[in-house]
Amino acid sequence: MTSEQLAWKIRRHGIEMTNLSGGSHIGAVLSVADIIGMLYAEILNFDSKNPEWHDRDRFILSKGHAGASIYAALAENGFFEVEELKTHYQNGSRLSGHVSHHLPGVDFSTGSLGHGLSAAAGMAYAAKKDGKTHKVYVVLGDGECDEGSVWEAALFANHFRLNNLVAIVDHNHMQSLDFNENTLEIEDFGVKWKAFGWNVIEINGNNHDELREAFRQADENSKAESHKPTVIIANTIKGCGVSFMQNDILWHYRFPHDGWEYDCAVNELHEHMPEGVEDVYTPNGIEKPVLPTEQDDIGNDHTFSYTWNTDYPEKMRRVAAKPGTDEREHRL
Ligand SMILES: Cc1ncc(C[n+]2csc(CCOP(=O)(O)OP(=O)(O)O)c2C)c(N)n1
Ligand SMILES: [Mg+2]
């Protein structure tokens, strides 16, 4: 499966899983889908039939609230049945809302932000001590980088020259309740990582060519004399792939409800479905989608009151009338 196909499947599963469960964090799942798609399609060394294989690359999704993304990637790679994804967030399910290491293929439980880089640095340190050549990859949220423990781990990784460690920051400029710049100023982000001794690569994290090239460069870096760890600052769009969820803080916690929210999200994904992909839930999209009305609270950026009441209902009618139209916008 290509990285684009896997990223699309992660998005489609994410919509279904959050719709079925009433679970949160779909914006965070859509934001990170391309990064996870690339990692599981092309970068990580693993064996789904032998998840404990000692020489596998280690992976930690430190922004563990986006657990649906990793569950989808693991199921699509044969760690467990795709059917089990429907149990996400249900009582007794192995697929808890936040990432659980009780699942095959998961190396570390996350959800309490700020711990993944420390654990990854420890794994990378241990691998070096043991003379092992596998790598350690960790994905962090940018809001998560407000946690002091992230920077302590960053110092540690540089001090011990952990060139077998690659951190990827999903830099969508948002956290749970607001934009990062309104919460705690963290720019100039790349300069900060560099000052902590890391190689820094900055890319568009929703672009697969740029992601592929960044991981290739990170691999080159790991062989360089300096022995520095590498961070990939992946500039992304929170909610990427569903226009009315993009850059709207509402979709950090809200799930796609039955009706126009679910129908329009599915049909928007279908407009950009890569060749060779099958949608196991709605193979042809939704033929007669419920559309939003003027009264529906849609397409509104809920961060600022002056950005509410945008023209999404009208926009969606146009998209429905003209398949293939891409009306996505980037806030920045
Ligand atoms: C230690 C801790 N504090 C608070 C939370 C609640 N929380 C869940 S997601 C989130 C926002 C995270 O933002 P970011 O890291 O930027 O991730 P994004 O969803 O934007 O990808 C917060 C504060 C948490 N999970 N852990
Ligand atoms: Mg964020």
CB 142 near ligand 1, within 6 Å: yes
Q: Which residues constitute the domain of residue 89?
A: 3-235
Question: Which token pair is 95?
Answer: 């697929």
Q: Report the separation in Å between the CA atom of 180 and the middle of ligand 1, taken as the mean of its atom positions.
A: 11
DSSP label of 307? G
* pLDDT of 332 strictly over 70: no
Q: Output the six-digit token pair for 25.
A: 């964090």
Q: What is the DSSP string of 55-87?
A: TSPEEEESSGGGHHHHHHHHHHTTSS-GGGGGG
Query: Cβ neighbours of residue 20 under 8 Å, at least 6 residues apart?
Result: 86, 88
- pLDDT at res. 312: 60
Q: Is 133 in the pocket of ligand 1 (CB under 6 A)?
A: no
Residue 310 CA to residue 303 CA, distance in Å, equals 13
pLDDT in tens, 276-324: 999 999 999 999 999 998 778 776 767 665 565 556 656 555 555 554 5
282 in any annotated domain: no
Flag whether 98 is in a domain: yes
Mean pLDDT of 109-123: 98
Q: How far apart are the first and last CA of the chain?
A: 32
**Half-sphere exposure for 249 (CA within 13 Å, toward CB):** 18
d(CA 33, CA 234): 12
pLDDT digits (tens, 9 = 90+) for 131-175: 999 999 999 999 999 999 999 999 999 999 999 999 999 999 999
C-alpha span between 74 and 327 (Å, rounded): 31
CB distance 119 to ligand 1 below 6 Å: no
Ligand sitting nearest the alpha carbon of 177:
1
User: Which ligand 1 atom is at minimum distance from the Cα of 145?
Assistant: 15
Choice from 65, 172, 254 to test ligand 1 binding pocket (greatest atom count within 8 A of CB): 65
**Residue to mutate, 144, 168, 248, 249, ligand 1, most ligand atoms under 8 Å from C-beta:** 144
| In-domain check, residue 302 | no
Which residue carries 């949160």 as its tokens?
24
Q: How many domains does the chain have?
A: 1
Residue 324 · residue 285 · CB < 8 Å: no
303 in a structural domain: no
Does residue 257 lie in a domain region? no
Ligand 1 pocket check for 65: Cβ under 6 Å? yes
* Residues 138 and 144 sit within 8 Å (Cβ to Cβ): no
Task: Tell me the C-alpha distance between 106 and 90, whole Å.
Answer: 19
Asked if residue 182 has its Cβ within 6 Å of ligand 1, the reply is no
* 62 alpha carbon, closest ligand: 1
Tokens of 194: 């560099």
Query: 260 lies in a domain?
Result: no
pLDDT for the residue numbered 58:
98
Residue 286 Cα, ligand 2 centroid: separation in angstroms?
A: 30
The better pLDDT of the pair 316, 246 is held by 246
What is the percentage of the chain residues whose pLDDT exceeds 90? 84
For 209, residues 6+ apart whose C-beta sits below 8 A from its C-beta are none
**Distance from residue 234's CA to the centre of ligand 1 (Å):** 17
Q: Provide the residue type at 159 as one letter.
A: H
Name residues whose C-beta falls within 8 Å of residue 29's C-beta, 6 or more positions apart in sequence.
Answer: 10, 11, 14, 18, 66, 68, 69
For ligand 1, say whether the CB of 172 is within 6 Å of any of its atoms.
yes
| Residue 235 Cα to ligand 2 middle (Å) | 10
**Reduced to 3 states, what is the DSSP secondary structure of residue 21?**
helix
CATH number of the domain where residue 118 is located: 3.40.50.970
Ligand 1 pocket residue status of 110, Cβ below 6 Å: no
pTM for the whole structure: 0.92
| Ligand 1 centre distance from Cα of residue 314 (Å) | 33
- For tokens 């095959």, the residue is 104
Q: What is the pLDDT of residues 37-93, one digit of tens each?
A: 999 999 999 999 999 999 999 999 999 999 999 999 999 999 999 999 999 999 999
Residue 263, domain member (yes or no) = no
| Atom 7, ligand 1: residue with shortest CA distance | 176
Are 310 and 299 within 8 A, CB to CB? yes
pLDDT tens digits for 185-211? 999 999 999 999 999 999 999 999 999
Residue 265 lies in a domain: no
Residue 191: what pLDDT? 98
Arithmetic mean of pLDDT, 12-35: 97
